[in-house]
Structures are given as C-alpha cells and as structure tokens.
Amino acid sequence: MIETVEVLDPYFTKPDLPGNFERAVNGREIVDVGRRGKYLLLELDDGLTVVIHLRMTGSLVLLAPDGSENPGDARIYEADRSERHLKARFTLDDGGELRFSDPRRFGRGFVANGEDLETYFASRLGVEPLSDDFTVEAVAAMSAGRTGPLKSFLLDQKGVVGVGNIYADEALFRAGLHPLSPGGSMKPEHHLALRDGVVEALQRGLDLGGASIDDYRDAKGEKGGMQKEFLVHRREGESCVTCGGEIRRIVVSGRSTYFCPTCQKRLRRKSKRK
DNA sequence: AGGTCGGCCTGGCAGC
DNA sequence: TGCTGCCAGGCCGACC
C-alpha cells in the first residue's frame, strides 16, 4: 500500500496540480503494475491508474525496506544519486520507498480512470513491437503512403510504440534500411526486415538491461549494458561491424541519426502509376 | 492530413 | 577560472 506520496516538484504533475495527484494516490493499494508503450502503469485498488513517463532522464527506483542494510548495493548508490533530483516519493507501508527522480524535469505523472486512459492512449499509441500484433502486414499497412523518412516513422509512437532514438538507429541498421528512405518506399522484403530489425534491437536491449549512456538505471539502480553493443548509434567515424566502412551521423527530424552508408541502402520513392 | 520544427528542461562539455 | 553556447531527446503544439 502507498501510505503517502509527496510530490516535491510541481513539474512532475504538470499541467495538473500536485495536490490532486497526492489526494488520489494516498492510502491506495497497488493491485497491478503494467506498461503501455513508454508509459508505466500502477493500477490502484479503486480503479484509477497512476501513469508515469520517464522521458529521457527520469528514473523510478524501488528502495526495499532492508536496502540500507547493504552498503555498496546499487540501490543505495542510486538513492544518493537520486536525492538531488528527487521529484516524487511514494512511501510504502512495508517500509519501502518508490522514488521518481529526474535531473531534466521532463518526466511526468498523472492519474486517470480506465476509460480516459484508453482514450488517451488510443490517440497517441500504436502497436506493441513485442506482441503478436506487430506483423509484416501491420508494418506494411502503417508505412503505406508515408513520404517522411523511415527514422521519423519509427520514432512516431502512433505507429510502433517504444522505439526511441537509440533503438530506431539500431533497428534500421539491422534491417539494412537507410534512415532517410521514405516510409512508403518499402517493398515486402523490407517490411519483414524492418519488423525483424525492430524486434531484434529491442530484445537485445532488454537482454542487456537497457542502454545507460548517462542516466538510465533500472528499478534496482543498476546500469544496463546495451550501450557497449551499439552497432551504429553514437559511433560516428568508427567502423561498421559488417563492412568495416565508416559510420556516419546525420540529423533527421531534429535527432542525431547514425548509420552505415554502405550497408543501409537508400530506397527511392515509389513512382506513381500512370 | 501528413510532415516539420521549435520549445520544454538541465547537466555536461567544448571553446575562449 | 568562469562564462557562453551547444547538445542530448520524448513529446506536444504550432505551422505549412
């Protein structure tokens, strides 16, 4: 049970007021924990759901009641580290503590009922890439007619959810697709390659516990290992693992984008039928 | 309507 | 040393 929640930075609940968030959460039981896209969900015993988005630098760390008995533990390291940027503290009745901290103040939290949440997600989020719904046909359907670059297509959460800048680069490299290729230029073999590239890149990230470039830590305060295995991301000037050529960096829709010009061939826009 | 871009934020770092 | 300015990026709203 959550005994109390303290919102220490009103930005966390913006545009709603911290008091509303606190009143809705205080004294409630967490009956389930879930996720939709990049949104974390804490389902409460009265049907409401706490929704938290970490954005880039937010972290949610669970301090166990016995955490302090184990100096040197990553959780303790993380507790110290998060103290400076602590935005919300959930005090649990077992003596544990759930902390949301965020140096850049981009992360947000709010409370919503099931119906509102469905509406909220329906207008923003598409298919889960690690579900059975992420088929070749789905990729074909959602990319059809798109003229914008593939990179933008992957970053758009209304198509596939959960893919951010890192995994978009890694997925496109795995798929052998150029980030500037128009979404609608893909043929069936490219739909398959892109689907597999996205799934492989995300699965590799999960296996390695995520990518900790600067801030990312898991709920126990541990770093991930994905950043050590980037194939292209943040590797400008380094050698391609496949062909040995030079990795390039360009900017696509305002985001740094890394790719291998040799392995990732640019597709031409489909010409209109006469 | 799809696509693009700037703004929100702050820490870290390069450059002077 | 200390200042300025840029970069990082998920999402949103404004604009074309």
274 residues of chain A, pLDDT tens digit each? 999 999 999 989 988 899 999 999 999 999 999 999 999 999 999 999 999 999 988 998 888 886 553 444 555 555 555 577 899 999 999 999 999 999 888 899 999 999 999 999 998 999 999 999 999 999 999 999 899 999 999 999 999 999 999 999 999 999 999 999 999 999 999 999 999 999 999 999 999 888 877 777 788 878 888 888 899 998 988 999 999 999 999 989 888 999 999 999 898 876 543 3
At A81 the pLDDT is: 56
**Å from the A99 CA to the B7 C1':** 28
Distance in Å from C2's C1' to A109's CA comes to: 37
Q: Where are the domains of chain A?
A: 2-122, 136-259
Distance A254 CA to C16 C1' (A): 17
CA of residue A274 to C1' of nucleotide C9, angstroms: 42
Backbone angles phi, psi at A111, to 5 degrees: -120, 135
Pairing type for strands A48-53 and A248-252 reads unpaired
For residue A209, give the amino acid letter: G
How far is the C-alpha of A55 from the C-alpha of A47, rounded, in Å? 25
- pTM score, whole prediction: 0.91
Beta-sheet strands, E only, within chain A: 2-7, 30-36, 39-44, 48-53, 59-63, 86-92, 97-101, 108-113, 248-252, 255-259
- A145: the nucleotide nearest its CA (via C1') is B2
Task: Report the pLDDT value the prediction gives residue A72, as an integer from 0 to 100.
Answer: 46
CA closest to C1' of B4 belongs to: A253
Q: Which of residues 5-24 of A touch strand C (CB under 7 A)?
A: none
**A164 CB below 7 A from strand C atoms:** yes
Cβ < 7 Å from strand C, A residues 241-270: 254-256
Q: Which residues touch strand B (CB under 7 A)?
A: A 11, 14, 85, 103-106, 145-149, 152, 183-184, 214, 253-254
State pLDDT tens for residues A116-169: 999 999 989 999 999 999 999 999 999 998 999 999 999 999 999 999 999 999
Tell me the DSSP string of A148-170: SBHHHHHH-TTTBSS--HHHHHH
CA of A228 to C1' of B11 (A): 22
Which residue is closest to C7 in terms of CA–C1' distance?
A256
- How many CB atoms lie under 10 A from the CB of residue A233? 25
**pLDDT score for A220:** 80
Name all contacts of A65-69 with Cβ < 8 Å and 24+ positions apart.
A65/A94, A65/A95, A65/A96, A67/A96
- CATH architecture of the domain A2-122 equals Alpha-Beta Barrel (3.20)
CA–C1' gap, A15 and C13, in angstroms = 14
- Two tokens, residue A147: 């003229």
The domain defined by A136-259 carries CATH number 1.10.8.50: yes
Residue nearest to nucleotide B6 (CA to C1'): A254
A187 touches strand C (CB under 7 A): no
Closest CA to C9 C1' — which residue? A56
Please, what is the Cα angle at A185 between A132 and A136, to 5 degrees? Answer: 15
Same-fold call for A2-122 versus A136-259: no
- Outline where DSSP puts E strands in A79-140: 86-92, 97-101, 108-113
Rounded distance between C-alpha atoms, residue A163 and residue A179, angstroms: 14
